[in-house]
C-alpha cells in the first residue's frame, strides 16, 4: 500500500472538519427553529421543543447540506493547491458564521416583523439608516443575545473540530461505516423534515431559511410592499 501523501491528509482533515461543522450547524439551527415554531418560557420547555424544531428545520438543512456538499466538491477539485483549499475552508466557515448569526437574529425578527427579514424591510428602513430600523436590529441582537450567539457558535466550531479529530483516528472500515451512516442519516433527515413541514402545513414565515427568504424577496419582489 502506497503511503498517504500530505495533500491527501490535508484534504481528509479539512473535509471531515467541514462535514462535522456542517452537521452541528444544522443541529444548532434546529434549536433556533424550535424557539420560533414552539416558543417556551422555561429551560425545560425549550429542551422539550428541540425535536419539533429539528423536524421543522427542513429548509435550514437544505441550505447547510448544500453549503457542505459545495465546499467538499470545491475542496476536492482544489486539493492540489494549498491556497485554494485554504480559501474554500475559510469561505465555508464564513458562510457558517453568517448562517448561524442570521438564524439566531431571525428568532426576534420573526417575533417583531411576523416574517424573516426581507429586502422590502431593508428598503423601508432606508438600508438600516433610520432610527426604527436600527432599534429593530438592536432588539434582534442585544448584548445578552450576542453573548449567547457567540458561545453557541464557538461550541459548534470547537466540537466540530474535536469530532473531526476523533474521526481521523478511525481505521478505513470505521471511516467508511461512519461516513455511510452519516450520509444515510442526512438523507433520512431531509425526507423526514420535508414530510413534516408539508404534513403539518407550517406557516412559511416560521420555517423559511432567513437567508433564502431575504434573497428571494430581493429577486422576486424588489418593490417595498410596505410603501405601496
What would the pLDDT profile of 117-164 be if each residue is shown by its tens digit?
888 877 776 555 566 556 666 665 677 888 989 999 999 999 999 999
* CA separation for the pair 93, 99 (Å, rounded): 10
Assigned domain for 184 exists: yes
Q: Angle 156-163-152 (CA atoms, 0-180°, nearest 5)? A: 10
Q: Provide the pLDDT for residue 136.
A: 61
Residue-level length of the chain: 228
Other CB atoms within 10 A of residue 153 CB: 17
CA distance between the termini of the chain = 69
How many independent structural domains does the chain possess? 1
Residue 90, pLDDT above cutoff 90: yes
Give the DSSP per-residue string, 64-100: HHHHHHHHHHHHHHTTT-HHHHHHHHHHHHHHHHHHH
* CA 211 to chain centroid: 10
Confidence of residue 218 (pLDDT cuts 50, 70, 90): confident
* CA 118 to chain centroid: 18
Assigned domain for 185 exists: yes
User: Residue 221: which domain range?
Assistant: 6-227
Q: Provide the pLDDT for residue 226.
A: 47
**Contact partners, residue 178, CB within 8 Å, separation at least 6:** 167, 170
Within 13 Å of residue 101, how many CA atoms lie on the same side as its CB?
A: 13
Q: Provide the pLDDT for residue 104.
A: 93
Assigned domain for 1 exists: no
Scanning the structure block, which residue is given the C-alpha cell 423536524? 55
Tens digits of residue pLDDT in 168-200: 998 889 989 999 999 999 999 999 999 999 998
Amino acid at each position: 500500500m502506497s503511503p498517504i501523501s500530505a495533500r491527501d491528509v490535508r484534504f481528509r482533515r479539512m473535509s471531515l472538519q467541514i462535514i462535522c461543522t456542517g452537521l452541528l450547524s444544522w443541529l444548532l439551527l434546529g434549536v433556533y427553529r424550535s424557539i420560533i415554531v414552539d416558543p417556551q418560557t422555561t429551560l425545560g420547555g425549550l429542551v422539550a421543543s428541540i425535536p419539533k424544531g429539528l423536524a421543522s428545520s427542513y429548509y435550514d438543512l437544505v441550505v447547510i447540506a448544500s453549503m457542505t456538499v459545495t465546499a467538499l466538491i470545491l475542496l476536492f477539485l482544489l486539493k492540489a493547491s494549498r491556497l485554494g483549499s485554504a480559501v474554500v475552508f475559510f469561505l465555508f466557515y464564513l458562510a457558517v458564521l453568517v448562517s448561524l448569526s442570521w438564524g439566531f437574529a431571525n428568532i426576534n425578527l420573526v417575533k417583531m416583523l411576523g416574517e424573516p427579514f426581507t429586502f422590502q424591510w431593508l428598503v423601508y428602513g432606508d438600508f438600516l439608516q433610520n432610527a426604527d430600523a436600527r432599534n429593530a436590529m438592536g432588539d434582534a441582537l442585544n448584548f445578552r443575545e450576542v453573548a449567547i450567539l457567540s458561545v453557541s457558535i464557538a461550541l459548534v466550531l470547537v466540537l466540530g473540530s474535536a469530532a473531526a479529530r476523533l474521526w481521523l483516528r478511525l481505521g478505513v472500515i470505521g471511516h467508511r461505516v461512519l461516513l455511510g451512516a452519516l450520509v444515510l442519516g442526512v438523507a433520512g433527515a431531509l425526507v423526514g423534515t420535508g414530510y413534516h413541514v408539508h404534513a403539518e402545513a407550517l406557516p412559511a414565515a416560521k420555517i423559511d431559511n432567513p437567508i433564502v427568504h431575504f434573497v428571494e424577496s430581493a429577486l422576486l419582489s424588489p418593490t417595498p410592499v410596505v410603501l405601496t
